Amino acid sequence: MVLIKQSILLVILAGIIPAAMAAKYTLQNRQDTVIGEISSVRAELKDTLLDIARRNGLGYQDIKLLNPELDTWLPGENVEVKLPLKFILPDTERDGIVLNIPEMRLYYYTGAGRDGVQEVVTYPLGVGREGWDTPYIKTKIIEKKQYPKWYPPESIREEHAEAGDPLPKVVEAGPDNPLGDHAMRLGLPEYLIHGTNKPFGIGMRVSHGCIRLYPEDIETLFQQVQLGTRVEIVNQPYKIGELDGVLYLEAHPYLDEDADMFENNLTPVVKLIVNATDERQYDIDWNLVREVVRQPRGIPVAIGFTRIDPTTTIADIGMDDEIVVTGDTAATAVDSVVDQAILDQQQKLDLRLDNHIHPLKFYRERVAQ
């Protein structure tokens, strides 16, 4: 079971966005792979989806994937906006910072002690656009700077000059600096985790390969992260997780340059499911798997549940004190109780699966067609 501790990080941002919300999750053991809950809010008249996303620790891609029918700039007063605040943890070592590029999300793990208990906090990202890809590597934080200067590489200066927007050799700290007020350099030339002076780009592919965070998020992370902190950058558009006997699949749009790897190809997802269920048997809804991959919405979707073992005994299901039978009817009565317990358990799992799918009615409807 995942225990959730949610902290509100209040950040005053010149009256633009009054508060940002980040959630901390306590992971009791390695088996905890699904965190958070899907929720919703009602839009106010003045809200854009970008405002709502930022207030709730989400980026543009996060909120549009789950609310594709809503207008980005005018969602409408009192309209329900679903918040994809349930996540499957990336399949990586749980140490330091993990950046999942297609998900456009950062995970920061802390507090791994002898008892195995950890905390993880997660933030949305802006990542490198096609042609300025963020590399998939394991590295570390080698430098931290507040109010950094930006020294644009020659290639970026040439690009801006061609667009009629020439850059100086040095951009001083301030509102025109795209690095924002905080920057952490990776052990890789010219790559940073930094803030931004254009927060609407979080959840988009807009950078030259660096990692951008909301100003309030990078400020918090900057204070917590130490020099030498491990950083792993991964490419995982699909993630598999398990919680309380339910198997989940979370799908995000793969990057355009990875079309050869993922387009019309279910094999990567099948491999993930096979690896995740290697030691346990699950009943998988493969039609739902195909639909989740075909229409990624960026949230964990229940695709199966633990198969009930037909050899289950009364002791296994904890019902030995509930049976009072004697004589020749004992065996029949025991079998009947076990059968009913298995049926009850399966009905509960069916209901749980149904409830988890419910927020995504379009999946169920399409699978039924």
Class of residue 146 by CB neighbours under 10 A (exposed 0-12, middle 13-18, buried 19+): exposed
Alpha carbon separation from 261 to 14, 241, 257, 265, 270 (Å, rounded) = 44, 22, 9, 7, 14
| pLDDT above 70 for 151 | yes
Q: Which residues are known catalytic residues? A: 194, 210
Sheet arrangement for strand 20-27: 3-9, 20-27, 118-124, 105-110, 96-100, 230-234, 138-146, 182-186, 192-194, 211-212
Distance of CA 78 to the CA centre of its chain: 26
pLDDT in tens, 174-209: 888 889 999 999 998 778 999 998 898 899 887 556
Mean of pLDDT over the chain: 79
> Quick check: 134 pLDDT over 90?
no
**Residue of 17, 84, 25 lying closest to 54 (CA atoms):** 17
Q: What is the pLDDT of residues 66-120, one digit of tens each?
A: 999 999 999 999 999 999 999 999 999 999 999 999 999 999 999 765 666 889 9
What is the average per-residue pLDDT within 122-133?
Answer: 76
What is the reported pLDDT for 355? 52
Supply φ then ψ for residue 232, to 5 degrees: -125, 130
| pLDDT interval class at 4 (50, 70, 90) | very low
Task: Give CATH 2.40.440.10 domain extents, the chain.
Answer: 3-37+85-234
Which has the higher per-residue pLDDT, 286 or 32?
Answer: 286
What pLDDT is attached to residue 7? 32
Q: Which of 185-199, 224-238, 249-263 is predicted least confidently?
A: 185-199
pTM of full prediction above 0.85:
no
Whole-number pLDDT of residue 347: 56
The pair of three-digit structure tokens given for residue 170, joined into one six-digit string: 């040095």
CA distance between the termini of the chain: 35
**What's the CATH architecture for 3-37+85-234?**
Beta Barrel (2.40)
Q: Give the pLDDT of residue 272.
A: 94
Q: Is the pLDDT of residue 367 over 50?
A: no
Q: Between residues 230 and 162, which one has the greater pLDDT?
A: 230
Give the tokens for residue 58.
């989400």
pLDDT of residue 144: 96
